[in-house]
Structure 1
Amino acid sequence: MSYGMTIERGYRFMIKIFRTIDNGMHQVSEIQEGCWVALTNPTSAEILEISNEYKVDINHLRAPLDEEERSRIEVEEDYTLVLVDIPVIEERNNKDWYVTIPLGIIITDELIFTVCLEDTPVLSAFMDGRVRNFYTYKKTRFILQILYKNATMFLNYLRVIDKKSEVIERKLHASTKNQELIELLELEKSLVYFTTSLRSNEVVLEKLLKIERIKQYPEDTELLEDVIIENKQAIEMANIYSGILSGTMDAFASVISNNLNIVMKFLATVTIVMSIPTMIASFYGMNVNAAGVPGASNPYGFLYVIIFSLIVSLAVAFFMAKKKLF
């Protein structure tokens, strides 16, 4: 098989090639045996050329570009496809929310390909050489290391979601608006995405235990078991946080409704107190004979009416306060 494919200007750097040289990660311009080829949102032309050059089913290369694609393993004669969900940050309304997208890992006898819709911290850690004991020529171990990194990334994002929910909860104590509840709803949606993706990934991991082609090194089985443990822990955390968040939303929906009732009760009480001087002024403002109006002929009549209105209003306000209506 030929390995003469190089990155041309037409690729717009959507394809990156990495190779371990002298125990260090290096980006190279030509695909050689033992390389890792990272495809990020590749074009149809790029996918077609990779498919023709390296005999990979074009549908398997396109599968990770579909956001609704399910996690699975496809074992072919010349290669193995591992498709899992990874967490990513999505910006909406100038705020960061969390969703999942597919990541495809294709292993041939000589190369490893990764296909994803966008750059992800799961892969960038390998590209930057921040993962210990990572070698591009140890392809099956690379799969397990990606899966382990993916599980830890889920755990990190779950902790961030938990901290965000605590911040929103503190705001909700004095809130009568729906904005905080909407933010909690977005976090709950993220947890639903995470739980669904983690369960799908769990099925893939369980299946990996049964594929001998994946376990080429003695320590691979132990690493795979670690990945499964991390994934199970992420599932448990997602379920716990989701339950807490759901209960919190129900509780604070009642709190917001109660806060609104308190405000409405206060406004109604103020309206009653303020209506008394208005009512008295209305009686004195009627178009009737002045001789029949109490205090009309008294030079201090206006002052008496004001004082009387104030006394009655204060009496009603005191009565309302005793009834805890303020």
Structure 2
Amino acid sequence: MMRVFSTMNGQIEQIKQGEKGSWICLSAPTDVELANVAQSTGIDLADLRAPLDDEERSRVDAEDDYTMVIVDIPRAEERDGRDYYETIPLSIIVTENLIVTVCMQDTVLLHPFMEGTIRGFNTFMKSRFILQILYRNATMYLRYLRIIDRESDRLELKLRHSMQNREILMLLELNKTLVYFATSLKSNEIVLEKLTSLERIKQYPDDEDLLGDVITENKQAIEMANIYSSVLSGMTDAFASIVSNNVNNVNNVMRIFTIISISMSVPTLIFSMYGMNFNEGMFGMPFTDKPWGFAVVVVVSMLVAGMVTWFLTRSKMFK
């Protein structure tokens, strides 16, 4: 989808065609839209397609007629009744006359700019526009990081009451998200450093405070992502140790029950043979004709069971 905006009389208005001082917003653009923008602005088609690859790295490219800035932005996607977080690239291309943004999806990052709710935003102030996008991007990272932190606390409370595979897998998913966030934020920090020294992007005195805020917010987001990731990794390791300890306890109980079961099968076998009533002839059961025969059989059975128990407790199979 292609939309064009321009600041008119202090208000953001959507117009039909790009003109000097306007902003062209491409969200999940078609090939026809990309070709038309490339033809009208002189931007290379390959550069317009670059942010449509979700593996595209953050960078700053300075061409002859334009400068392209690619940063990673966060996004939330609802799947199976819960939100999943990931990062996608956003391209900001600055030409002499206008500014172009390209993203593979219609991101909420740019909606406040389209609605005119960002204070001090003008489409013709290209340097400030870039900084405002980067500032809002850093604040979105911070907001999603706080949501992830609350989600991890909720999962921790659930896991304290019952160990479920679903909650543990969700913790691993959140930890993976934090790693992606931290990596993307560090790449964005490198982009910020290049922007501060890039002569093509003019640094106006009025934008110095905004630039400082962008750098501060981005660094805070990096620190929060690293802290939350460390906490979540420690939490995951702790619950993994608990699960492992529970498995060991179950194994010990099963070991004891197995030894008892095998040991009790010995007297059961002996008593079963004596219950077959072979009392006469040369194949009769021993001690059946003696008054003390029952006591002897019981004692012998207990001794054999004790020997079997002693052997099994010493056996390597049950260690």
Give the TM-score range, shorter chain.
0.7 to 0.9
In the alignment, structure 1 residue 114 sits paired with structure 2 residue 101: yes
Letter in 1 for 2:5: F
Match of 2:276 among 288, 304, 310: 288
Letter in 1 for 2:131: L
Tell me what 1:53 maps to.
40
Match of 1:226 among 206, 209, 213: 213
Secondary structure (helix, strand or coil) at the match of 1:33 reads: coil
Task: For 2:23 and 2:266, locate their aligned partners in 1 and report how far apart those are by CA, in whole Å.
Answer: 85
Structure of higher CA gyration radius: 2
Count of aligned pairs between the two proteins: 288
TM-score between the two structures when normalised by the length of structure 2: 0.79
Task: For 2:43 and 2:242, locate their aligned partners in 1 and report how far apart those are by CA, in whole Å.
Answer: 57
Comparing 73-82 and 192-201, the one that deviates more: 73-82
Task: For 1:124 and 1:140, locate their aligned partners in 2 and report how far apart those are by CA, in whole Å.
Answer: 19
Letter in 2 for 1:68: E
Tell me what 1:99 maps to.
86
Q: Go from structure 1 to structure 2 and tell me whether the alpha carbon gap of 1:171 and 1:111 turns closer, same or farther (over 3 Å shift).
A: same
- Give the drift of 1:18: 1.4
In the alignment, structure 1 residue 211 sits paired with structure 2 residue 211: no
- Give the drift of 1:202: 0.6
Task: For 1:132 and 1:259, locate their aligned partners in 2 and report how far apart those are by CA, in whole Å.
Answer: 56
Letter in 2 for 1:17: V
- Give the drift of 1:260: 3.5
Q: Deviations over 1:112-136 (max 9, x none)?
A: 1100011112111211222111111
Task: For 1:181 and 1:283, locate their aligned partners in 2 and report how far apart those are by CA, in whole Å.
Answer: 50
Match of 1:196 among 167, 177, 183: 183
- Give the drift of 1:73: 0.9
In the alignment, structure 1 residue 157 sits paired with structure 2 residue 148: no
In the alignment, structure 1 residue 31 sits paired with structure 2 residue 18: yes
Task: For 1:181 and 1:79, locate their aligned partners in 2 and report how far apart those are by CA, in whole Å.
Answer: 48
Task: For 1:288 and 1:176, locate their aligned partners in 2 and report how far apart those are by CA, in whole Å.
Answer: 51
Contact 1:86/1:102, CA 8 A, preserved across alignment: yes
Tell me what 2:240 maps to.
253
Tell me what 1:64 maps to.
51
Contact 1:173/1:255, CA 8 A, preserved across alignment: no
- Give the drift of 1:228: 0.9
Comparing 104-113 and 23-32, the one that deviates more: 23-32
- Give the drift of 1:178: 2.7
Task: For 2:271 and 2:159, locate their aligned partners in 1 and report how far apart those are by CA, in whole Å.
Answer: 47
Tell me what 1:296 maps to.
none
Secondary structure (helix, strand or coil) at the match of 2:123 reads: coil
Tell me what 2:291 maps to.
none
- Give the drift of 1:223: 1.3
Match of 2:155 among 148, 162, 168: 168
Task: For 1:50 and 1:225, locate their aligned partners in 2 and report how far apart those are by CA, in whole Å.
Answer: 33
Secondary structure (helix, strand or coil) at the match of 2:142 reads: helix
Give me the CA root mean square deviation: 3.2
| Unmatched 5+ stretches in structure 2 | 280-284, 286-319
In the alignment, structure 1 residue 183 sits paired with structure 2 residue 174: no
- Give the drift of 1:100: 0.7
- Give the drift of 1:283: 7.8
Letter in 2 for 1:101: I
Contact 1:177/1:256, CA 8 A, preserved across alignment: no
Secondary structure (helix, strand or coil) at the match of 1:121 reads: coil
Letter in 2 for 1:55: G
TM-score between the two structures when normalised by the length of structure 1: 0.77
- Give the drift of 1:25: 1.9
Sequence identity percentage = 52
Contact 1:80/1:106, CA 8 A, preserved across alignment: yes
Tell me what 1:319 maps to.
none
In the alignment, structure 1 residue 126 sits paired with structure 2 residue 113: yes
Comparing 271-280 and 254-263, the one that deviates more: 271-280
Tell me what 1:239 maps to.
226
Letter in 2 for 1:288: M
Task: For 2:242 and 2:141, locate their aligned partners in 1 and report how far apart those are by CA, in whole Å.
Answer: 31
Secondary structure (helix, strand or coil) at the match of 1:107 reads: strand
